[in-house]
Amino acid sequence: MQSVDLTGMRDDAGRRPFLTATWRYLVMVNYEVPPALLEPLVPAGTELDTWRGATLASLVGFRFLDTRVLGIPIPRHRDFDEVNLRFYVRRLVEDGTYRRAVVFVREFVPRRAIASVARLLYNEPYHAVPMRHELQMDAAGDGGAGRAAYSWRAAGRWHDLEVRTRGRPTLPDPASEAAFVAEHYWGYTAQRDGGTVEYQVEHATWRGWDAAAARLDCDVRAVYGAGFAEWLSRPPRSAFVAEGSAVAVHRGRRISFPSGSPSPAARAGAGR
């Protein structure tokens, strides 16, 4: 597995990462959805990003391991699962390039304290629910069959996300859909006042396994809303398992808006 040295890592202001961890066995199941479904959720200052004209939403499940906040491990909160629904945006920055990023629709973790901190500091849509996982990936590194499954309990029942793998893990072609989905190093979160917080995530490029089969057993309407029910109930467009690596999540900062552009509050009001 590739790794990244987090020792001494600092953000642009010279501060150490807010959170470090290792993410392992990321199940990524991807669906094409209409842009109109996601546009109301796009944070101010960003725009939907597409893969060759397709607007994608991804269900992602993975293991959080050796989690530390400001370098300090928190007892009983170091190792846990996460399942999230996310989509993709981009933001034009001062040097004329785009930052490609993710926006989360909903995130599930099993620890109430983790969900509370994420909501408080980033306004991320975290919810604490019972969770479990089944990982059979030992043989997958040698090209054997592998399986990674994550389950969460919400809306009165268990929901399951599963991918079975084939072949050996490989680095994605930079021009591939797998790279578009996996290789994002920024996140944006809409704030209650209509503003936007940006944060950076650092990690190595992940090797991944192709999917032999993917399965979502979920009451999408109850968990994610009626708008997603039609699209996430269809067969996925693509699926794979990323090996993962050490990661560093930096502190969020509010982004500024160009002079003359609508204020975040005005944009939020227009979207209601």
What's the pLDDT at 7?
A: 42
Task: Flag the least confident range among 2-6, 79-83, 124-128.
Answer: 2-6
Number of H helices, E strands in the chain: 6, 15
Give the residue from 54, 25, 36, 61 showing the smallest Cα distance to 217.
Answer: 61
pLDDT attached to residue 5: 45
Read off the pLDDT band of 139 (50, 70, 90).
confident
Q: Are strands 238-249 and 208-217 parallel, antiparallel or unpaired?
A: antiparallel
Query: Average of pLDDT values for 190-204?
Result: 94
Interatomic CA distance for residues 118 and 136, integer angstroms: 30
**Distance from C-alpha of 230 to C-alpha of 181, rounded to nearest angstrom:** 21
C-alpha distances in Å from residue 245, one per residue of 122, 175, 204, 206, 210: 23, 21, 6, 7, 18
Closest CA relative to residue 61, chosen from 216, 176, 206: 216
Determine phi and psi for 270, rounding to 5 degrees.
-65, -30
Q: How many Cβ atoms are within 10 Å of 25's Cβ, its own excluded?
A: 23
- Give the pLDDT score at 15: 63
The pLDDT of residue 11 is above 50 = no
3-state secondary structure of 94: coil
Confidence at 76, pLDDT banded by 50, 70, 90: confident
Percent residues over pLDDT 90 in the chain: 73
Q: Residue 271 has what pLDDT?
A: 36
For 205, other C-beta atoms within 10 Å of its C-beta total: 15
Mean pLDDT across the stretch 246-261? 80
Q: Domains of the chain by range and CATH?
A: 28-63+83-204+211-241+251-270 (2.40.400)
Q: How far apart are CA 135 and CA 243, in angstroms?
A: 12
Across 164-185, average pLDDT? 96
> Which range among 77-91, 213-227, 256-270 shows the weakest confidence by mean pLDDT?
256-270
Checking if the pLDDT of 152 tops 50, the result is yes
Q: With H, G, I as helix, E, B as strand and everything else as coil, classify residue 7.
A: coil
Mean pLDDT of 65-79: 82
The yes-or-no verdict on residue 39 having pLDDT over 50 is yes
In this prediction, residue 16 carries a pLDDT of 81
Residue 27: pLDDT band by 50, 70, 90 thresholds? very high
* Local structure of 199: helix, strand or coil: strand
Residue 261: is its pLDDT beyond 70?
no
pLDDT at 258: 60
pLDDT at position 108 over 70: yes
Amino acid present at 160: D
State both tokens at 257: 């808006």
Q: Is the pLDDT of residue 171 over 70?
A: yes
